[in-house]
Amino acid sequence: RKEVEQDPGPFNVPEGATVAFNCTYSNSASQSFFWYRQDCRKEPKLLMSVYSSGNEDGRFTAQLNRASQYISLLIRDSKLSDSATYLCVVTNYQLIWGAGTKLIIKP
Amino acid sequence: DAGVIQSPRHEVTEMGQEVTLRCKLISGHNSLFWYRQTMMRGLELLIYFNNNVPIDDSGMPEDRFSAKMPNASFSTLKIQPSEPRDSAVYFCASSSSGETGELFFGEGSRLTVL
């Protein structure tokens, strides 16, 4: 079992819809959690950190479920510009990257 | 402030040739990461430096790969001799808080080995 697992997608979603995807991790001692966004042929960039209480940044909401060992990302009112690959990152003294979930927003 | 700067952005070389990739960290950052990304294997950590010292090089594929940090702001990744399976995008990233905080990536060096 991989340490960090994501559904590779692609998720094909109409513009304006709400989309959510999860990332599961195997090490219960993991300490920090992040979502990165990577556009096609570009470098990954931090989208948001994930806090225990959950956090929101505009249309984006990130949540952590320690009991079930997953983090989630919810995107509301999706835009064409949200099309990208979303990578989750989990740390336990080292960064462990998921393989990414590809999101395609269609007009 | 300038971000992480990588060079070259693209390199096409023939099998057996030496390849040197370069990275300049963001000023004030003390951690540097070299990653390789391919469609098949995703993002793989090659090596991680903290304060110029290699902390984790377990991801370095084999002796053909070597990385150095001659000073606090600059690093090189060398592949000698290069092989077609080394074709990938190589990213350098820096951080001010090691492996617990945000990583800032360069735009990557796209390597093609023929």
For A6-22, letters b (16+ CB in 10 Å) and e give beebebebeeeeebebb
**pLDDT category of residue B97 using cuts at 50, 70 and 90:** confident
What would the two tokens of residue A83 be? Answer: 């099309």
DSSP E strand stretches across chain B: 5-7, 10-13, 19-24, 31-38, 42-50, 53-56, 65-71, 74-79, 88-95, 104-105, 109-113
Residues 22-81 of B with CB under 8 A from A: 33, 42-43, 45, 48, 56
pLDDT at B1: 62
Considering CB atoms only, which of B33, B45, B99 is closest to A93?
Answer: B99
pLDDT digits (tens, 9 = 90+) for A90-105: 998 788 999 999 999 9
Residue scoring higher pLDDT (B19 or B98): B19
Contact B90, B111 (CB under 8 A): yes
Asked whether residue A66 carries a pLDDT value surpassing 80, the answer given is: yes
pLDDT tens profile B62-71:
899 999 999 9
| Rounded average pLDDT over A33-47 | 96
Count of C-beta atoms within a 10 Å radius of residue B39: 7
Q: Kindly report the average pLDDT of chain B as a whole number.
A: 93
Kindly list the residues of chain A whose beta carbon comes within 8 Å of any beta carbon in chain B: 31-32, 34, 42-46, 49, 87, 91, 93-95, 97, 99-100
Task: Kindly list the residues from chain A whose CB atom is less than 8 angstroms away from the CB atom of residue B43.
Answer: 44, 87, 97, 99-100
> What is the percentage of chain A residues whose pLDDT exceeds 70?
99
Report pLDDT for B2.
81
DSSP 3-state assignment of B80? coil
Rounded to whole angstroms, the Cα distance separating B110 from B11 reads: 6
